Amino acid sequence: MLPVQYGQCSGANFLDAGERIAQDFTEDGTSAMATRINNTYFGGGALSPKRFSQLASVVSPMKPFVRSWAIDQPQVLMLESISFGECYGYLEAIPVIGSALAVIGLLAHLYGMATSYFMLSRAIVVLSQTPRNDRNVGRGASLLRTNEVFKTAVNFTQHRNQAIGSALAIVPGLKPVVRLVQGAVYHAFYAPPTPRTA
């Protein structure tokens, strides 16, 4: 898990999260990075058991942005927003027409993954060349470089998750069945027990 959740977080935690993403990417590749981001923001990977409300949600994290550049305690804000990609996923579940839309969606997400990968590679090189010292933190350079790493990593992970969903939707009826199984498994094995009243 990353030390950056929805809402407001400290600049130090944000810088730590950016360094963790860069380390995952350079040492273990995109899979480790995407797994960490999925576990932090999406409740697990694209095929992990999840609540039905989460599976049906069209909300996803926006790119993080710096709200205050105060030298002693910069603040970074993470919010949620309605995602076009999540809404498009519903259209892919329509029989017959949805399969054609899923092929288009899959190609678009693969392209998005490729561009995000190259942008992330470049952003990590720039971040590694920006030492995390008082001068760079004070003038905002460290936050700016970390912001670029963070937003492209989240973008890559979103495209990856949606590409898996689009691949499932190519086979008519498979995506809704998989989503029902994910929800059923979550509620059967992972959901916290509800307290019984007398």
| Domain assignments of the chain as residue spans, ordered by start | 7-189
Dist. CA 153–CA 20, nearest whole Å: 11
Q: What is the pTM of this model?
A: 0.85
pLDDT band at 118 (very low <50, low <70, confident <90, very high): very high
Out of 50-59, 73-82, 102-111, 181-190, the most confident range is: 102-111
Selected residue with higher pLDDT from 141 and 48: 48
Six-digit token pair at 149? 């790493």
Does the structure show a pLDDT above 60 at 84? yes
- 94 DSSP 8-state letter: S
- 46 DSSP 8-state letter: T
φ/ψ (deg, to 5) at 6: -65, 150
Element (H, E) at 76: strand 75-78
Query: What pLDDT, on a 0 to 100 scale, did the predictor assign at position 191?
Result: 73
Six-digit token pair at 108? 């678009």
pLDDT in tens, 157-190: 989 999 999 999 999 889 889 989 999 998 888 7
